[in-house]
């Protein structure tokens, strides 16, 4: 069951309010380290806002709590970009390290590009 679903402008000014909403929703999940999902949220929202669109665009965020995990999904119709393709050895200028750290903080990561949408899914076990 989805705890939360929201569509925001792909604008860095939107990020603090969205992150606060995610924190509030995650506060209901007992015995769960929320920091990983928060860090992933900040990183993904920042990257989508900065790189996905050359003009105006939107981000859809879905937060789902199952019995044994929390899943957060980010969808955008910007330029295709798979965060899973960013590797440690490619980061000579420091760019991309946030995505690597975000992926490593979660238990599962998946990316698909479907019907013109980037769909990045991160799961954290409870």
Domain range annotation of the chain: 2-125
pTM > 0.75: yes or no? yes
CA distance 71 to 66: 8
Which of these CATH numbers, 3.80.10.10, 3.40.50.300, 3.30.565.10, 2.70.70.10, describes 2-125? 3.30.565.10
Q: What is the pLDDT of residues 20-79, one digit of tens each?
A: 999 999 988 887 789 999 999 999 999 999 999 999 999 999 999 998 999 999 999 999
Asked if 78 contacts 22 with a C-beta cutoff of 8 angstroms, the reply is no
Asked if 40 contacts 106 with a C-beta cutoff of 8 angstroms, the reply is yes
The DSSP H or E segment spanning 95 is none
């Amino acid at each position: 069951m989805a705890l939360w679903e929201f569509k925001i402008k792909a604008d860095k000014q939107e990020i603090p309010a969205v992150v606060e909403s995610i924190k509030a929703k995650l506060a209901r999940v007992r015995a769960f380290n929320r920091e990983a999902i928060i860090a992933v949220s900040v990183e993904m929202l920042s990257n989508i806002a900065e790189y996905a669109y050359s003009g105006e665009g939107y981000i859809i965020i879905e937060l789902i709590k199952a019995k044994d995990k929390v899943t957060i999904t980010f969808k955008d119709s910007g330029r295709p970009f798979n965060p899973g393709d960013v590797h440690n050895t490619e980061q000579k200028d420091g760019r991309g390290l946030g995505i690597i750290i975000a992926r490593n903080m979660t238990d599962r990561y998946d990316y698909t590009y479907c019907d013109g949408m980037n769909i990045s899914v991160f799961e954290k076990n409870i």
